[in-house]
């Protein structure tokens, strides 16, 4: 039976990019369709107040990226935090990307804030700090597309650091077999990152923009992260973990 994944969409793609890229939920669905573990997805946009009914059962809940701050006061963010804390307390598996990575760290006892390092954009490389059995294929270093000005600055007490760099010391972490998060965007493709950089050029400044654009001639390993995520969710289910 395919894994059942609920995608909690925490943003709406900029109007200029909707025709080509549709939504973050759709980008994740396209990404996960290319990894080997069978999975089915349902998307709910929580900014608009949409959540799955209690009658629906999922193997994991994935929190997407967002232009919002994870530590912001927005009502929809507070509602999402309550929803996620309830899911965590009942033992559900939670996945987080960028905003989701930061929000789950904050929610579970860590810290997330505006990073003194400034904007991170383009392709970024991380050192792997820990290897788990669901991390297949195995990597010594990880490259991902990124777009963020906030970072996790303190892990929850019971979290394990998975990936790190000088620019982003807490780039990925897990909490037991229940929570798995990444600062980078496995769902991004090069063309989307380029379009986003072009739209934000004045906001992020010319030096950051130029560095980000020049980094896009490299590959990234979003497909590997997608496989890790599904192996993490499947871990412990007979016939699906390997």
Which residue is catalytic, options 124, 181, 187, 220?
187
Confirm whether 185 is a catalytic residue. Answer: yes
Query: What gap in Å lies between CA 242 and CA 47, rounded to an integer?
Result: 35
Confirm whether 148 is a catalytic residue. Answer: no
Q: To which residue do tokens 């986003």 refer?
A: 196
Which residue is catalytic, options 168, 185, 220, 227?
185
Confirm whether 187 is a catalytic residue. Answer: yes
Which residue is catalytic, options 6, 98, 168, 181?
98
Which H helix or E strand runs over 111? strand 111-114
Both tokens assigned to 73: 């006061």
Query: What gap in Å lies between CA 55 and CA 137, rounded to an integer?
Result: 35
Residues that are catalytic:
98, 185, 187
């Amino acid at each position: 039976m395919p894994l059942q994944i609920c995608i909690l969409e925490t943003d709406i793609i900029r109007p200029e990019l909707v025709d080509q890229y549709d939504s973050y939920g759709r980008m994740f669905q396209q990404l996960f369709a290319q990894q080997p573990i069978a999975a089915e997805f349902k998307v709910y946009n929580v900014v608009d107040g949409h959540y799955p009914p209690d009658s629906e059962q999922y193997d994991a809940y994935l929190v997407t990226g967002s232009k919002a701050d994870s530590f912001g006061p927005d009502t929809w963010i507070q509602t999402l935090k309550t929803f996620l804390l309830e899911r965590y307390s009942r033992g559900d598996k939670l996945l987080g990307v960028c905003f989701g990575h930061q929000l789950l760290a904050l929610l579970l006892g860590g810290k997330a804030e505006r990073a003194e390092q400034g904007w991170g954009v383009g392709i970024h490389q991380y050192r792997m700090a820990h290897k788990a059995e669901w991390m297949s294929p195995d990597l010594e270093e990880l490259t991902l597309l990124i777009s963020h000005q906030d970072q996790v600055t303190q892990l929850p007490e019971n979290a394990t650091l998975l990936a790190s760099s000088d620019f982003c010391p807490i780039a990925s972490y897990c909490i037991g077999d229940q929570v798995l998060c990444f600062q980078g965007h496995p769902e991004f493709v090069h063309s989307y990152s380029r379009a986003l950089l072009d739209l934000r050029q004045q906001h992020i400044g010319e030096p950051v923009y130029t560095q980000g654009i020049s980094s896009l001639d490299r590959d990234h390993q979003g497909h590997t992260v997608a496989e890790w995520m599904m192996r993490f969710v499947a871990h412990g289910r007979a016939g699906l973990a390997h």
